Amino acid sequence: MFYCLNHICKSFILDLGKHRQINSREALMIKALLSAFEGPLRFLSRAIWEIQSYTFLSSRAIANLFTRPIYMREVILQMDRIGVGSLTIILLTGFFTGAVLAIQSESALRRYGAVSITGQLVAITLVRELGPVLSALMVAGRVGSGVASELGSMVVSEQINAMRALGTDPIRKLVTPRMIATIMLLPLLTILCNAVGLCGGWIIARYKLLLSTSQYWSDAMNALQPADVFGTLLKPIVFGFIISMTGCYVGLRTHGGTEGVGRSTTQAVVSSSILVITADFFLNNLIIYLSPYLNV
């Protein structure tokens, strides 16, 4: 795209020179303008190319769901690596997040004599926002980096080219199973994160804030609406797709040997985290828009 625009600008200058004489000052001004626009045009063309390649890879991975073969053994293996392997970090993250929420809310709630609604605060904050986002970020740091480094190592060691030479589609064999496993298991991990987080908040509320168990859990359950449950299930599906596809995309475009694998790993984590937070903003607006229909 950049080369096309550059060619058009140069053609325009040549046509302009045919009609009238361009002095040295005008030539310097035109050259300065071309130099000023060169950087943004390169960035824009590269961004468009990246979006196009990412969309093409995602569409092929989704299309593979409706055709055979589907490598179920690979799917189950990835489910074990992604789900069972991430279980410990998700449980620890959820427990301490819920406990910290209960501790930090005490000073603000006690000022207004509302310590009794700690269960509502912990439940709403965890289920609506922190549970899905923190689970996605933890999985992005663990799974996204692992997928990028694994596929990147296969690229630099020519294993991907060997698969193509043997007639195996790398996207069907490597990308689609990871996408399926992440989309299926991240909602389950988010539910566990929310449940353990509520338990962490209950421990602080019971033994530090001296709230009764029945009061905490009744307030927590009554505070949740159908839109909250819908959001905590919808967000992980979108986040799982983003994490898996970003890790696979960055891994498959690795170059530069082992040093390139390290760069791809870092880029996968950073890109996945940014995309997750960006998608969370738009999903929150969507859920708020749909909440009057969901809470009926």
Instruction: Quickly state the pLDDT bin for 177 (edges 50, 70, 90).
Output: very high
- Using the Cα atoms of residue 77, residue 78, residue 79 and residue 81 in order, give the sign of their dihedral: positive
* 192-201 pLDDT, tens digit each: 999 999 999 9
Residue 165's pLDDT band (cuts 50, 70, 90)? confident
Whether 150 shows a pLDDT value over 50: the answer reads yes
Look at residue 2 in the predicted model and tell me its pLDDT: 47
pLDDT digits (tens, 9 = 90+) for 72-129: 999 999 999 888 889 999 999 999 999 999 998 887 888 887 888 888 999 999 999 9
Residue (of 58, 271, 50, 67) closest to 179 by Cα position: 58
**pLDDT value at 247 more than 80:** yes
Give pLDDT, residue 287: 93
pLDDT above 70 for 213: yes
For the chain, give me the number of helices (H) and strands (E)?
13, 0
Q: What percent of the chain clears pLDDT 70, i.e. is strictly above it?
A: 86
Q: What are phi and psi of 269, to 5 degrees?
A: -65, -45
pLDDT at 296 over 90: no
* pLDDT at position 11 over 90: no
Domain ranges of the chain: 73-294
| pLDDT category of residue 270 using cuts at 50, 70 and 90 | very high
pLDDT tens-digit series, residues 109-122: 888 878 888 889 99
29-54: average pLDDT? 74
Higher pLDDT, 38 or 107: 107
**16-17-19-20 Cα dihedral, nearest 10 degrees:** 110
Nearest-angstrom CA–CA distance, 185 and 190: 9
Spatial contact of 197 and 131, defined as CB atoms under 8 Å apart: yes
